[in-house]
Structure 1
Amino acid sequence: MKILHLISGGDFGGAKTHVLSLLEQLGKTIDVEMVCFRDGPFAQEAIALGIKTTVMTEANRLLSLRKRLTEYVKENNFTLIHCHGSRANLVGALLRQPTGLPVISTVHSDYRLDYMGRPFSQFTLGNINAWALRHLDYRIGVSDSMVDLLIKRNFPANRFYAIYNGIEFIPPQNNPDRLAYLRNLGANVDTDSVVVGIAARLNPVKDMSTLIRGFAKAYQKCNRLRLVIAGDGEELEKLQALAAELGVTEQVCFAGWISGGMDAFYGAMDINALTSVSETFPYALTEGSRFRLATVSSAVGGIPALIDQGVNGFLFTPTDWESLGNHLATLALNDDLRHSMGEKLYQKASTQFSIQKTVDTQIHIYEEVHRRHMRPKKNRDGVVICGAYGRGNAGDDAILEAILQQMKEIDKDMPITVLSKNPSQTRLAYRVASIHRSNFFAWRKAMKTSKLYISGGGSLIQDITSRRSLWFYLNNIRTAKRMGNFVQMYGCGIGPIIHDSHKKLVAKSLNRYVDVITLREPDSQMELASMGVHTPEIRLTADPALVLAPDSNDKIDSVLLGSNIPPNGKYIGFTLRQWQGFADKTTAIAQAATYAYETYGLTPVFIAIEKHLDPSAGRAVAKHLTVPYYFLDDAGSAGTIIGALSRMELVVSMRLHALIFAAGQGIPLVGLVYDPKVSAFLRYIGQEGFVDLSDITAEGLESLIDQAHQKLETPQIQTDAVAKIQALEFGNEAVARQALER
């Protein structure tokens, strides 16, 4: 593999560091070369690092440069072209056709902000860069948030990758005389000072005004605090005047640019800060983490991927100087917290954000881009997936996540299109092509070229909640088959189907248009038999969401702390929903929750699976409680919801997917049955601890909680039962694999 990198050669800051460090390390594994469009410090530094660098100065004569580069690419047998920056993007866009190579670009910053304060440059160079970015094959965002930003601007979601700036975690040298160093910078410090540091340009994007305002607020609570700003820029006088206005001139040091490396600077700090209104993934935070510095940062760009709120640092909304001040004061007043957060940040950054991690990611991207470029063109390829997606229901979205994981196991590069109620949200969440479920012409077009149609999981074939949805899913199945697809109903549930006319319609449609049905529990198998569905192959498997894993402990801790829930408490989780008859049972559920607290010391936590609907059900119960309780209204993705449920000792649930998630983690369960699918799943995993919603009493629910609590003594029984079901789930993937390999 041989990669040609294009760059203007006038770059500085994070982009310069990223490119040079990346190419230096990549060169140890693969063949890389760089072409700069100007000579100067950048090109000379690259040469000094051993990076093969050629300077081509025809950047202002595009046709001449295009011709020369085309010949250079063909003579040297490059595999692909990698661009950095607006000028390189334009040249790369012009090279796609004559070279026939895939062209990718690393987007280091928001192109709409690159020329902030320079309207003419923004109108000309900014728009040219925006055009060029859309005419490349693939884009790499420096952080997932940069990728999300561009997807929101309608760049194709399935042609993106994310990468994070990594550094070498070389053990730092100790600063032998911290006080002398800081005083030499001009800081007014003593032995007991707690020093906040920032290294950044003094320009509007870095928003130093917020830093100084936040520092002044924190200083009122802790007069040990000092602030040292390393950097220079056009806002220096403005910021000095603000410090004077707020009465912290003596406590704020404007140190200017630091020469001779930054190790001495970070080694003298106690807290690392960043207040930018826009970033991708700044080196300043990973550099600070190498020194185990507690960190407070604005929640922009990819920074939340590094900092887990309240666990290894603090985040705040850009420009919110009051929150910044509170976080600085908290760290200044608590030495143990400051040190523990710094240590946790180091542990995460050194394992997940090293330069080797960045290099490995970049090589993986090159390999995938090359593989996709060389993929044989087929008349029919890939899969269309349809289900109840994009509605804000974590259970349905978990099904989609699991199906997508399994499709990638079959073929990493297969084209995938998802029909969704909210395609923009689906594109952002899963980086796949997605079209609106009501856009008949778009999904019909997708079906003309796909090989497999998946009617994906959940209880799609039912009429108890909606007749129209049943007609919709059956119509899609019919259309997919007529368009030439293999049709699979994937790990699904069937029913309830109330109307006789619908039963006949279902039987006719499934018998005629479906090839294989994989079912998540035996009750659905009996439902199909009762309707006379016999033509498709029918297999008993399991719900796809059973195989999803929880997120990391730090992410789960952060989610819990974000709702003021101590991460290591003893809890009983309730996942409830509004349903006919539920209002009459809230008092009984509250009495059972009180019983769990008083008998077993389990604090109730009301967890929303569908965040737009479920919180009201939890609050309807909580208003009857006199014991402590918590709400977790938005636990995030499937991984963090699973993780949150794994922190419960028991789970009492109406929501099927909460039971599925908790069962997968071996948590004892109590089911509140509002729909037969809930009891069907529990019976399938050998659990009889459930009660119909209409039959709930406080005493009966307390008895079920007792039974579930007893299972804490024999967790292996449930774990083994669930493991058997999880093994069956892979039958869903096996059917899809056979269809795609035909």
Structure 2
Amino acid sequence: MHVMGGGDVGGAKTQIMNTVTGLARRNDVMLLSFRAGPFADEARERGIDVRVIERHNPFRAARAMRDLVDEFEPDIIHCHGGRANLMGAMVRRTRRVPVLTTVHSDYKLDYMGNPFKQHTFGTANAVALRFLDFYQPVADRMARTLIERGFDPERIVKIYNGMEFKRPEGALDRAQYLRETFGAEIAEGDVLCGIAARLTAVKDIATTVRGFAAALKEAPQLRLFIAGEGEDEEMLRRLCTQLGVAERVTFCGWVAPVEPFFRAMDINLLSSVSETFPYSILEGICAGCATICSDVGGMPELIDTGENGYIFPVGDDKQLARYMVRLANDAAQRQAFAEALYQKASRDFSKDKMCERQEANYRHVLARFHRPKEERESIVICGAYGRGNAGDDAILEAIVREMRALAPERTICVMSRRPKETRLNYRTGAVYTFNVLSVLRRFRRAALYINGGGSLMQDVTSTRSIWYYCYTLHAAKKRGCKVMMYGCGIGPINRMGNRKMAARTIDRSVDRITLRDDNSRALLAEMGVTRPDIRVSADPTIILDPAPQEIVRLALEQSGIDPDGRYIGFGLRNWPGLDGALPEIAAAAEYAYRRHGLTPVFVPIEFPSDLTPAERVGALLSCPWHAVRTRLPIETTIGILARMQTVVGIRLHSLMFSAGQGVPVVGMSYDIKVDGFLKYIGSRTCLQLRSVRADELCRLIDECVSGALDGEVCRTAEMLREREQENVRGAAKLLGIEN
């Protein structure tokens, strides 16, 4: 049963209509509307069972809706919009049917510019949302917004808008269409930019106008067509006059149908402050437009910046202008972007694909809703998470990704130092690592406990940590969990008492161990661990891919680094013995610049602590150097390291990320885990941190830059990815899943 207010317009209306008509091919669908009118009439004409309840009293409307629920007996109630959410929340109290709502837009911005509606209808919707069972945001960005506002990530399933992607038939005389429809005359060679949106604050058309005015200085052939109506129209007309571009801007008013409008355009623009997955972009793609849009909603999932379109930061009219100039002056790129984006959108965001995702979401919701309370179903993951270390964050990202692919209907809970941040970044449940009572409660419902990645079993940082991690292994096993140590490293464990305790706990409590290097296996054998099933695999982070090239380029530019330069990367960390090595590292960096033309770039893995050794080396350099001074997403960090000619690392994950991308590495070992990794991949390029000498570093840099190791490095990357799958096979076996 789909429930809607009945006055829905724009993208929400299109999405609801596409969904109900698509689902009706294979399912019994009832559409309940609280208003008669064109929407209900159109759905009825398309063969949908439409019921209309016109009751101003919400209690009477809810009573009528309950009667329809009893008559239709739906498996799921699917709400769209504020009034539908309110009715769904009222019916949910007395009917055991899961209620799902699609969040088409940011409910706090739905009535932006209208304080009365914002504080009445908007508040009622915000309250009703808290009383529903599941939430279906349109695209990932809206999911993030809901989690930030305290919604449970385990009750969120995503959807993406879809439409029929059919190339328009026949030719369009765009000059005639624009003249006859809008009274606009265009000249040969004009490049037309179009934006179709309501002229309201949330659409931020002013940014489009300012960007257009700036772009016009370098690309005078540009024209701007604004299709839409709204309260901001007079303000926008005044802005065009103030910027001196009124003669090149045409206000088209409300445009219907919108297809010929987009067919007449060369570039489709969007500058909204908030969106989910706007249909105006999909319609422009279908019509063959190149696309530039603000970084909102699911646009990053649709558009690969620099490959099939451009995404600019919200409100950044200067970046918008730069992208407009690029496309205005390059017809071939416009055509290439338009074709590439059409191919991707028609493959991944069609109406049929949307309906497939919707049915999959329904199955997921129903399985969760009707799961027996006594069933063990969750996966608990423990590690050194929530401390700002990119290596540990990458481990968690990889494990969560693999568990979701392996068992998508199972919930995941992460033990984290910053549970709120973890819920937001990884869309999982989370508890504070040392909240023992909460952890034990999670163990009672867990099917699998993963002691996840990294080197948790060591006593170099502290004895307390190894005792705590061993306690969690014991407690999880005692409460009935299957227990796995996942893609981890072991040691060093220096104290004999810690060794005995760890060996005894692992032998008694762990079912399966996958290790990221042979040294760890040898240490377990030395400790006398024999009972668990032990396999050698690889670090989980090997599966992570770099961010798209244009995203990496932008990150480099923001750090003041020329994306087209040649660089040697350094991944440093503070550690005893570093002071003596700093002059040697600086001398090697200077050598790489003078001999090979490689500018040093310092890439922090743990931010901001890794910037301190970077600054200390930089102070010793006379050559140019750069440092990445902002915290970046893991994929972007990997992408930056992948751009290096070679990487010199103390940080283990600077070496792992680089080797996984086929970049030659030089290791400076401070710990057996670095030795173990480099030995595992067969690398000869490893020095001990305490005895680093510039001449040895320079020799190894020469070998890496020469290309002599390229084939070996590529084979290593393939080997690591293949072996990493042993981690997944181990988890699948413990969960009883054929993989």
What are the residue-to-residue correspondences of 1:318-329 with 2, within 5 Å? Answer: 318-329=314-325
**Alignment match of 1:130 (pick from 126, 131, 134):** 126
* 1:118 maps to 2:114: yes
C-alpha change, 1:539 and 1:508, in structure 2 (3 Å) is closer
Note if contact 1:105-1:140 (Cα within 8 Å) is conserved in structure 2: yes
- Shift of the 351–586 alpha-carbon distance from structure 1 to 2, 3 Å rule, reads farther
CA distance in 1, matches of 2:480, 2:525: 27
Query: Which one of the candidate residues 396, 401, 422 is aligned to 1:405?
Result: 401
Kindly state the Cα deviation for residue 631 of structure 1 after the two structures are TM-superposed: 5.0
1:32 maps to what in 2?
Answer: 29
Q: 1:390 to 1:718 in 2, by over 3 A?
A: same
Instruction: Give the Cα–Cα distance (whole angstroms) in 2 for the partners of residues 233 and 35 of structure 1.
Output: 29
Distance 1:211 1:719, change over 3 A: closer
* CA apart distance, 1:477: 3.5
Q: How does 1:609-688 map to 2 (within 5 A)?
A: 609-618=605-614, 620-621=616-617, 631=627, 636-648=632-644, 650-688=646-684
Q: In 2, Cα distance between the equivalents of 1:725 and 1:633?
A: 34
One-letter amino acid of the counterpart of residue 548, structure 1: I
Q: How far is the alpha carbon of 1:133 from its aligned partner?
A: 1.4
How many Å separate the matches in 1 of 2:517 and 2:77? 50
Deviation at 1:104, TM superposition (A): 0.5
Deviations 1:216-272 (A, max 9, x none): 22223333222211111122222222222222221221121123x222211222222
Change (3 A) 1:168 1:516: closer
The answer for the alignment partner of 1:46 in structure 2 is 43
In structure 2, the residue matched to 1:90 is 86
Letter in structure 1 aligned against 2:140? D
- In the TM superposition, what whole-angstrom CA distance separates every residue of 1:486-542 from its partner, at most 9, and x where no partner exists? 443333222223445544554565456555544332323343455x45475261323
Deviations 1:393-446 (A, max 9, x none): 222122223322343355322232111122222112222111222333322322
1:52-67 equivalences in 2 (<5 Å): 52-58=49-55, 60-67=56-63
Does the Cα contact within 8 Å between 1:559 and 1:635 map onto a contact in 2? no
* Alignment partner, residue 558 of structure 1: 551
8 Å Cα contact 2:378-2:446 kept in structure 1: yes
| Paired residues for 1:177-576 under 5 Å | 177-184=173-180, 185-187=182-184, 189-259=186-256, 261-378=257-374, 380-503=376-499, 505-507=501-503, 509-510=505-506, 514=510, 516-530=512-526, 532=527, 534=529, 536-537=531-532, 539-545=534-540, 548-550=543-545, 555-564=548-557, 572-576=568-572
Where 1:98 maps in the other structure, the secondary structure is coil
8 Å CA contact 1:143, 1:302 repeated in 2: yes
Say if 2:574 and 2:610, in contact at 8 Å, map to a contact too. yes
Whole-Å Cα distance in 2 between the matches of residues 330 and 623 of structure 1? 38
Alignment pair present for 1:109 and 2:105: yes
1:78 shift after superposition? 2.3
CA distance, structure 2, for counterparts of residue 628 and residue 336 of structure 1 = 37
Identity %: 43
**Separation in 1, partners of 2:631, 2:333:** 25
Report Cα offsets for 1:173-220 as digits up to 9, x if no partner: 465432333344243532122222111111121122222223222223
Report what 1:691 is aligned to. 687
Q: Aligned AA for 2:265? A: M
Shift of 1:586: 4.2
Amino acid at match of 1:317: P
Aligned length: 732
Comparing 622-631 with 328-337, greater Cα deviation is found at 622-631
- Separation in 2, partners of 1:161, 1:724: 30
Contact 1:590–1:622 (8 Å) recurs in 2: yes
Q: 1:97 to 1:536 in 2, by over 3 A?
A: farther
Distance 1:609 1:74, change over 3 A: same
Give the Cα separation in 1 of the matches to 2:127 and 2:554: 43
1:638-668 Cα shifts (integer Å, max 9, x gaps): 4454455455554432222233334444444
Instruction: Say if 1:520 and 1:278 are closer, same or farther in 2 by CA, change over 3 A.
Output: same
- Check whether the contact 1:545–1:660 (CA below 8 A) recurs between aligned residues: no
The offset of 1:275, in angstroms, is 1.9
Distance 2:138 2:605 in 1: 31
Q: Distance in 2 between matches of 1:486 and 1:25?
A: 42
- Aligned residues of 2:659 and 2:713 also touching (Cα < 8 A): no
Q: CA offset at residue 386 of structure 1?
A: 1.2
Q: Secondary structure at the match of 1:172?
A: coil
- Give the partner amino acid of 2:540: A
Range with greater deviation from structure 2 (689-698 or 598-607): 598-607
> What one-letter code is carried by the residue in structure 2 that aligns with 1:256?
G
Partner Cα separation in structure 2 for residue 265 and residue 685 of structure 1: 57
- Paired letter, 2:610: D
1:726 to 724, 727, 731: 724
d(CA) in 2 for partners of 1:44, 1:487: 57
5+ residue gaps, structure 1, are none
Q: TM-score, normalised by structure 1?
A: 0.89
1:527 is paired with a residue whose SS is helix
**Aligned partners of 1:541, 1:637: CA distance in 2, in Å?**
28
Contact 1:6–1:34 (Cα < 8 Å) also in 2? yes
Give me the whole-angstrom Cα distance separating, in 1, the residues matched to 2:662 and 2:248.
54
Q: CA deviation at 1:620?
A: 4.5
CA contact (8 A) 2:542 2:656 kept: no
Q: Note closer, same or farther for the CA distance 1:197–1:415 as it changes in structure 2 (3 Å cut).
A: closer
Root-mean-square deviation (CA, aligned residues, Å) is: 3.1
Is the CA contact 2:92–2:98 (under 8 Å) kept in the aligned structure 1? yes
Maintained 8 Å contact 2:376/2:447: yes
CA distance in 2: counterparts of 1:310 and 1:620, whole angstroms: 36
Find the aligned partners of 1:455 and 1:107 in 2 and give their Cα distance: 35
1:252 alignment partner AA: V
Q: CA deviation at 1:690?
A: 0.9
* 1:236 partner amino acid: E
Structure 2: which amino acid aligns with 1:27?
A: A
Rounded Cα–Cα distance in structure 2 between residues aligned with 1:339 and 1:725 = 42
Gaps of 5+ in 2: none
Q: CA deviation at 1:86?
A: 1.2
Cα distance in 2, alignment partners of residues 410 and 196 from structure 1: 45
TM-score, structure 2 as length reference: 0.90
Question: Against the structure 1 CA distance between its residues 117 and 94, is the aligned structure 2 distance closer, same or farther, given a 3 Å change threshold?
Answer: same
- C-alpha distance in 2 between matches for 1:615 and 1:292: 46
1:143 match: 139
Tell me whether 383-392 or 539-548 shows the greater mean CA deviation: 539-548
Q: Tell me how far apart the structure 1 counterparts of residues 703 and 725 of structure 2 sit (CA, whole Å).
A: 27
Q: Which amino acid aligns with 2:555?
A: G
**Helix, strand or coil: the match of 2:408?**
coil
Cα distance 1:560–1:634, how it changes in 2: closer, same or farther (>3 A)? Answer: farther
Distance 1:617 1:344 in 2: 43
SS at match of 1:250: helix
- The alpha carbon displacement at 1:276 in A equals 1.6
Measure how far apart 1:19 and its partner are: 0.6
With over 3 angstroms needed to count, the CA separation of the structure-2 counterparts of 1:6 and 1:339, relative to structure 1, is same
Distance 1:240 1:697 in 2: 67
Distance in 1 of aligned mates of 2:631 and 2:171: 42
Residues 313 and 696 (structure 1 numbering): CA distance in 2 closer, same or farther, change over 3 Å?
Answer: same
CA change 1:516–1:215 in 2 (3 A) is: closer
